[in-house]
Structure 1
């Protein structure tokens, strides 16, 4: 009897084996997001000729387990001394602008070849005036919905200033846990534009953790370029800025509507998408437009926005996505700046956080392009004056290659302010050489 039972059990097991194997394959291999390895080392990129001359890693880190929020990042090791050089977390503005925008248009070692573009996949080339010459830089897509960062739940996409800060702190904890060799490197929280609202708050949170526990941080300071801080200073300063630049009288402020607020000397270009695969480019003040096919050599070379379009062509290419390790089904269309994310602006001002963090002794570098009409330097100087710090080194020019690169003032509490002459929003995009020199001097402790 027991033998017959054993034979029956054996037959049943054999009958079930194909089904069990199928279930195992489904459990192990299937995910609605088709999740692959979280980190990926990249040695070549589509559009780049030859192997990359620097170390690039991409990856995802979960920053909210309950809501399934995953931040995507690009990490480039220092091209000088990665073991000793600072570790810098770079936050791009928006909110909703990808860390890739910071990488290729601002401080990273890659750039698009707009002059040589014809059609198809854009070419990219090495840029020597990169902040990776002196630092290890993490470019993160934050908040959720930015770049390739995503949520597996609808609730996860509902985000805000106050939610982004702890998620970024979680990101840093997890990133350092996976990259332990960088725990002792000097850490700087960096970024520009709207991230100026987030940077001092995140820096303060990290400072508190560092002082009260065995947190894996070696925080040394922070920097913010063309930073959003408070509408009272940022936007209310546009009239006096425009008046001071000779653009308008105070009474005629509305006349400046056709001025490029990113850089007042550059043409104002407006792109629209009236039908699939085409864009409309504004040609004159009367509202006339030219239609240009996407991925076409007709992109206007005088428009900075044309380079931004190249990043859209590049990042939405399937070969590029595969190379970067992007999880299929997570982001349908990549946007350089996704300004449609459901975001709540629940921290009206970060001025008090600048005060609290510098009171703890952490150095700060605040810089502005002096032709930026979006976040004018006069407004930034206004909120810095409101901190009532004494002046240590008064207003003076600073130089690069024997030429005036801008003007600077140093305050007590180790706060340095600098303008970058001829730069717009944001400064490194217009003056990469000068901004790299500014960074090198500041992190070394030298005066500008």
Structure 2
């Protein structure tokens, strides 16, 4: 009965206005839950592309994966970054829905409106995250069979990139076996936690060159980072996660509270030093989960959005399990997935890396370090290329980004943007999307 109800719900196209939240102008939407494991439920929300020049069947499908882990794509990615409406429910001029259909998925289980019925329902590593997503995608492409032939891209941000890499590899294998029917066209890794150690080890130099550390501060941050490196070398990843948190505290103390997501901003609370008795996991969650769950966004998602969706269980609160999602993945945080990117490139999958100039948590220096060390046969040729400048779409003649591409690999350097590129540089992010999906 539950399965039948799920199929019925998911086959409906939801329209209309509920409690002040109207359907985005011109948009057709659908949403549903998928039980990916017993007691583990994942929520997805689809916006069909709306373009005056083409039908949705002639445009790609983009799945957006948020970071955290525990950040909600249906919430933050949708209303703060690329969805048709912003947090104030006004049309977004730089929404990606004008270029592609958008599939937001709250993953891992427990994120956003997704939920686990019991403690063992949460994922503890990216392998489980990937297998859960494969169940959801198999369900989605079976249900929405008209999308099976449409080019399908996975775009991601932050920890979402780490998950996206693992998901893409498993999806490629599933397509080859015939267990999932879709036209997988590529993955884009935005400010992604692909090689955590390379990020942590470059924080000091990056902050020093941007005048946010003095010589003493540089020494303090580098010393703390070295401790992380030693723990990773010993494969003690939980200890490495704890030392990562310590290193962040050293950064905050020496920069008077620099914002890890955009170095031109400052933490609203100044230095976020841990309170007495607070675990390092709680402190990390406060730094990296709470910014994705602002009070205004939480009120929107648990208010008018929840009422509009009409299928959220009574005992489920948007973001209510986010910190548990985060803590369950603690042993996975500092593990790299560079080898997964290598496998994707070798398999011929189109891979794009894009990064914001002002991001600290995943600074561009760190991204370039792991990219240059890829074992993919095309990387020596890629590394020899000069980048090409791109004009800012809003200010012709002003450089908004640089990029270079070789065979099935591309890298975009987005200027004047932090960790959340679509929020900081919406027009440039939209232009990049069009280039990646070959519409520009």
Question: What's the TM-score, normalizing by structure 2?
Answer: 0.78
* 1:320 aligned partner: 305
SS of residue paired to 1:373: coil
**Residues 269-418 of structure 1: pairs in structure 2 closer than 5 A:** 269-270=268-269, 308-317=294-303, 319-331=304-316, 333-335=317-319, 338-341=322-325, 342-344=327-329, 345-346=331-332, 348-387=335-374, 389=379, 390-391=381-382, 393-401=385-393, 402=396, 403-410=398-405, 412-418=406-412
Which residue of 402, 423, 433 corresponds with 2:427? Answer: 433
**Residues 135-214 of structure 1: pairs in structure 2 closer than 5 A:** 135-157=100-122, 159-213=124-178
Q: Distance in 1 between matches of 2:194 and 2:147?
A: 30
Q: Distance in 1 between matches of 2:65 and 2:23?
A: 29
* 1:20 aligned partner: none
Q: Distance in 2 between matches of 1:380 and 1:221?
A: 19
1:63 aligns to 2:36 (yes or no): yes
* 2:235 aligned partner: none
**Residues 26-65 of structure 1: pairs in structure 2 closer than 5 A:** 37-38=9-10, 41-44=14-17, 46-48=19-21, 52-64=25-37
Question: 1:111–1:127: 8 Å Cα contact kept in structure 2?
Answer: yes
Q: CA deviation at 1:267?
A: 3.3
Question: 2:108–2:123: 8 Å Cα contact kept in structure 1?
Answer: no
CA RMSD of aligned residues (A): 2.9
Q: Distance in 2 between matches of 1:375 and 1:353?
A: 18
Q: Distance in 1 between matches of 2:19 and 2:392?
A: 35
SS of residue paired to 1:140: strand
Greater share of helix: 2
Q: Distance in 1 between matches of 2:306 and 2:22?
A: 18
1:103 aligns to 2:78 (yes or no): yes
Q: Distance in 1 between matches of 2:258 and 2:47?
A: 36
Question: 1:141–1:147: 8 Å Cα contact kept in structure 2?
Answer: yes
When structure 1 is superposed on structure 2, of 147-156 and 222-231 the one drifting more is 147-156
Q: Distance in 1 between matches of 2:385 and 2:432?
A: 16
* 1:8 aligned partner: none
Q: Distance in 2 between matches of 1:269 and 1:326?
A: 35
Q: CA deviation at 1:350?
A: 0.9
SS of residue paired to 1:399: strand
Q: Distance in 1 between matches of 2:6 and 2:185?
A: 39
SS of residue paired to 2:127: helix
State the structure with more CA Rg. Answer: 1
Unaligned ranges ≥5, structure 2 = 219-249, 274-289
Q: Distance in 2 between matches of 1:139 and 1:34?
A: 18
1:86 aligns to 2:50 (yes or no): no
Question: 1:77–1:132: 8 Å Cα contact kept in structure 2?
Answer: yes
Matched residue count: 373
Greater share of strand: 1
SS of residue paired to 2:9: coil
SS of residue paired to 1:71: strand
Q: CA deviation at 1:399?
A: 1.5
Q: Distance in 2 between matches of 1:202 and 1:34?
A: 24
Q: CA deviation at 1:128?
A: 1.9
Question: 1:400–1:437: 8 Å Cα contact kept in structure 2?
Answer: no
Relative distance call for 1:166 and 1:365 in structure 2 (3 A) is: same
Q: Distance in 2 between matches of 1:237 and 1:362?
A: 28
Q: Distance in 2 between matches of 1:400 and 1:182?
A: 32
When structure 1 is superposed on structure 2, of 247-256 and 98-107 the one drifting more is 247-256
Question: 2:71–2:292: 8 Å Cα contact kept in structure 1?
Answer: no
Unaligned ranges ≥5, structure 1 = 1-27, 114-123, 271-281, 287-303
Relative distance call for 1:213 and 1:158 in structure 2 (3 A) is: closer
Relative distance call for 1:59 and 1:50 in structure 2 (3 A) is: closer
